[in-house]
Each structure stands twice: as structure tokens, then as C-alpha cells.
Amino acid sequence: MLRALLFCLLMLTPATASAQTLVIAHRGASGERPEHTRAAYELAIAQGADFIEPDLVMSRDGVLVVRHENALSDTTDVAGRPEFADRRRTQDIDGRATTDWFSEDFTLAELRTLRTRERLPELRGTVFDGQEVILTLEEVLDLAEAASTRSGRRIGVIPELKHPSHFAAIGLPMEAELAGILMARGLDGPDAPVIVQSFEVGALKTLDGLIDAPLMLLVSPVGGPADLPGTTYAALLTDPGLAEVAAYADWIGVEASLVVPRVQGASGRATDLPARAHAAGLKIGVWTLRAEDRFLPSDFRGDLRGWFRRFEAAGVDGVFTDNPGDVR
């Protein structure tokens, strides 16, 4: 596949020209700063991350903004803002009724008035709450470009489209907007320091027709793509399924247990998924490695770097982590 062959060139450009497993800063250095904030991204870059990850949702006026979900209460102060109390509502998101404040009900200017906060305060504290505003995709791309210039190494950006079929259904399609931004910046080619992710197949197929930048299908251990009822992620990880994915994507990004399962709380024997993905012409990333012991298998408590190396040994090409400074 031409896309896969051309994408191999990308691996020579971020950070250093080596075969090292890529370190992908999951929402920035989100183990140490509130996720998707400028501070989290800048810290991740300072710690040597190869890529930073902005999750993307849409504002009411069609701007791609950076939040893990379109539901805002977990990571902003919206619940404490009386002027927005009447925006709280219930809607169906990917088949689940969700009650919250949603990005699509706010203009960018209104979103800018909110302040970010830590999503896991019981683990990571609240000392950095209230200090930053919500970023746009364009601002994250600017940040990565400026950091690349300062550091002399290429900082990649790996945006994820969140709930693209939901946004399309309410008249806010994401794919063309993202493609337009990347094309305007010359980041739409196979050698661009960009990988676009989604859990939905349709979004990636649409992007495959718009840009040549590498694409990643995200895969969970359960369920299936929200836009393909009746299709399971398990089916997409069979050899025929991987061959099908390789027709429109360059990577799969899988939950870590699909590569190293846990057996009675400890790490088990690695699966053959990396080898099978590579045989299909796909690269493979895993998500998400975190430093807190509650997220680590019992045999790697206090040893995130060792846990990271376990995946390197299993043959993966990239690892998403909340703690990029602790894995190399």
C-alpha cells in the first residue's frame, strides 16, 4: 500500500532518526498538569515526547477545540458558572444518554471564558486548576511548530476526532474542517509530523480521501465503532479485519491489554497482535500507560519505565502515556 510505504518516511523525522518506540504524550503530560492545557503540552515536549495528543471536539460556531469529550464538566469549571446553568441538558452520545454541558452548545468565545481543571483530582490534586483556557487545534499546532523551531527536533501532533458521527448529525462535520487546517499548513502529506486518530471508521475513510497524512484506527477491547453498528473491534483485529483496516489507515492504536494482557493483576504473556499488524502493513500504538500504581500491573508497581519497555519488547511502534518524562 502506497500510504504505508510513504508513511515509513515519517518515522525518521520526529525527535531523532532512530527505531525507538515513539513516546506519545497522552493529552500532554497529563499525569502532572491538567490534560489538554498549554502547560501539559509544553511539559511533555520538555520531557522529550515525540508527539503530543489533542483530542478534538467542536464549538457551536464550528471551531475544533481541544477537550477529551464534548461533555465539559469533568475538565472545566462550567458547573460553577451560573451564567451557563441553563445549558446543562441530556443528549445521546454514541448510544448513551449523557447529562452535562456540551461544547457544541457554546461558541468559541464562550468556551474561552471557562477555565480548565484536573480530571482526576483524587490522584493528581488541584493545584493547577483554574489557570488556563481551552485551546484550539490551531493553537496546539502553533505550539508544536514553535517548540520544534526552538528545540531543533520535530514535534509531532496526533489529534483525535471525538464522536465525529455525532457532530456530523448535528451539522458540525469535523473531517473537512480538520483537513482544511492541515492543508493550509502543509501538514496533509505522508511525511507530515501528524497522525490523525479516531475510534470511528467512517471518519478515517473520509479523511483518507482528503489528505495523505497518516491515519490511526483506535481499538477498544470491547464494543465496536459507533458509526458501524454490528461491527466489533474484535473482528477488526482478525487477520482479514486488519487487511481491511490497512486499506484506509496506517496505524492501529489499541488498549494496552490487547498487547500485554493482565493475569490475576500481573502482566501476562504478550500477544501476537504487533506481529500480525505489521504483517498487514500497519504500525501499532498502545494506550494508555500511567504512573500511578492503580493503573499498573502488580509486577510493575512503581516502575513505569519498565512497563514501557515491556511494550517495546513486544514490538509496538508507539506508546501513549500520561507521564512521558518517566518512560525513557
User: pLDDT of 57-76, one tens digit each?
Assistant: 999 999 999 999 999 999 99
How many angstroms separate the CA atoms of 39 and 318, rounded? Answer: 23
Pairing of strands 283-289, 251-255: parallel
227-250 pLDDT, tens digit per residue, is 999 999 999 999 999 999 999 999
Q: Output the CA–CA distances (angstroms, integers) from residue 132 to 15, 40, 157, in the order listed.
A: 27, 10, 20
Residue among 59, 93, 100 nearest 79 (CA) = 100
HSE of 308, CA atoms in CB hemisphere, 13 A: 24
Sign of CA dihedral 40, 42, 47, 53: positive
pLDDT over threshold 90, residue 9? no
Coil, strand or helix at 192: coil
Residue among 139, 86, 78, 140 nearest 111 (CA) = 78
What pLDDT does residue 2 have?
A: 42
286-325 pLDDT, tens digit per residue, is 999 999 999 999 999 999 999 999 999 999 999 999 999 9
How many angstroms separate the CA atoms of 26 and 274, rounded? Answer: 20
What pLDDT does residue 47 have?
A: 97
168-227 pLDDT, tens digit per residue, is 999 999 999 999 999 999 999 999 999 999 999 999 999 999 999 999 999 999 999 999
DSSP summary character for residue 115:
-
Cα 242–chain centre separation: 20
- Asked if 31 contacts 125 with a C-beta cutoff of 8 angstroms, the reply is no
Of 3-12, 51-60, 82-91, 313-322, give the lowest mean pLDDT range: 3-12
Please enumerate in sequence order all residues whose Cβ is within 8 A of that of 166, keeping only pairs 6 or more positions apart, or say none. Answer: 70, 93, 94, 226
CB count within 10 Å of CB 95 equals 9
- Asked if 138 contacts 98 with a C-beta cutoff of 8 angstroms, the reply is no
Q: Which residues are tagged catalytic? A: 26, 68
Question: Which residue blocks in the chain are alpha helix, DSSP H?
Answer: 2-7, 38-46, 108-111, 121-124, 137-151, 164-169, 175-184, 201-208, 233-236, 239-245, 273-279, 304-314
What pLDDT does residue 19 have?
A: 62
Percent of the chain at pLDDT above 70?
94
pLDDT over threshold 50, residue 273? yes
Residue 43's identity, in one-letter code, is L
DSSP summary character for residue 320:
E
Mean pLDDT of 115-136: 98
Q: For residue 319, which phi and psi values (nearest 5 degrees)? A: -135, 125
C-alpha cell at 173: 462535520
Beta strands in the chain (DSSP E): 22-25, 51-52, 55-58, 64-66, 89-93, 96-100, 156-157, 160-161, 196-198, 215-219, 251-255, 262-263, 266-267, 283-289, 318-321
Coil, strand or helix at 262: strand
How many angstroms separate the CA atoms of 50 and 158, rounded? Answer: 10
Residue among 50, 176, 59 nearest 107 (CA) = 59
CB count within 10 Å of CB 220 equals 15
Q: Output the CA–CA distances (angstroms, integers) from residue 258 to 117, 140, 262, in the order listed.
A: 31, 30, 9
Largest CA distance in the chain: 55
